[in-house]
Amino acid sequence: PPLGAMVSLEDFEKLATQILPNTAYAYYSSAGDDENTLRENVDAWKRYWFRPRVLVDITKIDLTTTIMGIKSALPIFISPAAMARLGHPLGEINLTKGAAQTGIIQGISSNASCTLEEMCDARSPDQPLIFQLYLNWDRQKSVEIVRKVEALKMNGIMFTVDAPVPGKRERDLRAKGDFDDEDGGTKGVAQAISGYQAADLSWKDVEWLKTITDLPLIIKGVQSVEDAKLAAKSGVKAIVLSNHGGRQLNFAPASIDVLREIREEAPEVFDQLEVYVDGGVRRGTDVLKALCLGAKAVGLGRPFLYAQSAYGEQGVVRAVQILEEELATGLRLLGATDLSQLNPAMLRYLDNKIN
């Protein structure tokens, strides 16, 4: 179908089920065990309903923001997701170029299928890029990567902490592909690429990372109020509330619920660092809900993988445009003209409501 036929992010996902090879779709879509968290990531947003205001002149609006001081055209970013080339020959380069065209920030996975040099070559002047770091068992190898990230003048390091071991992803395990063991068993893509990742990571590594680089640090994968407080104490610039798109611990909570708990139990955290969320974000209204509760920005993983798989760079641009239009309409109908006006009083939490 022509790109213009894509009117919601879900359209890209439906198309991806039809065009992606089995191994690729299984790897992208898979999540832990029975995938309860994967479903919860989408459902949890439906428990939050708006309390809109009317009779506000909303002719002119502003959707721009900053993410760790970096300008962003929208309060969204590309969450780092591995192996974009499983879906399209240009892979992560599509994401880099699409991000440049739309003025948003790309998070680049440690397990990207394009090299950092390839992405930086495709980058437009001064385009911000954030590198997602998985620590290596051999910390010296991690130092070398950090040095490369600095040399390429990337803008920050997102340290992912929710994957000391890979989750059990059965769709990925069942899809037979290029990653089969010699003995005929199958590892799946996730296990095949993650062997170097350190299982011994701890808060000491956060301290250590701060000593080896001046790049701003973001901790990705916080899932509790307790750890949000520890992150604030550790002095990092930002956290991403995330359950890794449901791919790690099954029954991990949806990020929007963790965000609400932080708002209620430890609101000082929002003054100490920036809070981002990801997981199951598919609509502009999802983004607005997170911002009402104090998130500065929201990340999306799979929607951009699917969009670039089907349409390359232009698919990424279209996906961002869809979100931008939804954000603009949502903001106006909420009775606000810029993102700083969003606040908890504009949102109502309904415990058992799912519709």
88 catalytic residue (yes or no): no
Interacting residue ranges for ligand FNR, rule: CB under 6 A? 27-28, 41, 79-82, 109-111, 132, 160, 220, 242, 244-245, 247, 278-281, 300-302, 305
Query: Which of 289, 276, 333, 230 minimizes the C-alpha distance to 104?
Result: 276
CB-count burial class (<10 Å; 0-12, 13-18, 19+) for 109: buried
DSSP 316-349: HHHHHHHHHHHHHHHHHHHT-SBGGG--GGGEEE
134 catalytic residue (yes or no): yes
CB of 290 to ligand FNR, least distance (A): 12
Q: Which two three-digit tokens encode residue 146?
A: 């950090």
Toward ligand FNR, which CB reaches closer, 27 or 336?
Answer: 27
CB of 251 to ligand FNR, least distance (A): 16
Q: Which two three-digit tokens encode residue 148?
A: 């490369």
CB of 74 to ligand FNR, least distance (A): 15
| Beta pairing partners, 186 | 180
CB-count burial class (<10 Å; 0-12, 13-18, 19+) for 257: middle
Toward ligand FNR, which CB reaches closer, 202 or 343?
Answer: 202
CB of 65 to ligand FNR, least distance (A): 19
Toward ligand FNR, which CB reaches closer, 276 or 336?
Answer: 276
CB of 51 to ligand FNR, least distance (A): 26
102 contacts 73 by C-beta, under 8 angstroms: yes
Our separate counts of H helices and E strands in the chain read 14, 12
Cα distances from 162 to residues 19, 148, 159, 235, 298, in angstroms, run 30, 24, 9, 19, 18
Toward ligand FNR, which CB reaches closer, 81 or 93?
Answer: 81
Toward ligand FNR, which CB reaches closer, 11 or 346?
Answer: 11
Find the catalytic residue in 244, 276, 286, 306: 244
Residue with tokens 């089969």: 180
DSSP classification of residue 136: B
DSSP classification of residue 180: B
Rounded to whole angstroms, the Cα distance separating 290 from 278 reads 9
Query: Which of 288, 157, 137, 171 minimizes the C-alpha distance to 210?
Result: 157
62 catalytic residue (yes or no): no
CB of 17 to ligand FNR, least distance (A): 14
Q: Nearest residue by C-beta to ligand FNR?
A: 301
Strands 76-78 and 297-300: parallel
Find the catalytic residue in 28, 134, 306, 311: 134
Query: Which of 98, 231, 102, 66 minimizes the C-alpha distance to 162?
Result: 231
Toward ligand FNR, which CB reaches closer, 87 or 346?
Answer: 87
Rounded to whole angstroms, the Cα distance separating 110 from 125 reads 23
CB of 90 to ligand FNR, least distance (A): 17
Find the catalytic residue in 11, 48, 88, 162: 162
Toward ligand FNR, which CB reaches closer, 88 or 346?
Answer: 88
Instruction: Report, as residue numbers or ranges, the catalytic residues.
Output: 134, 162, 244
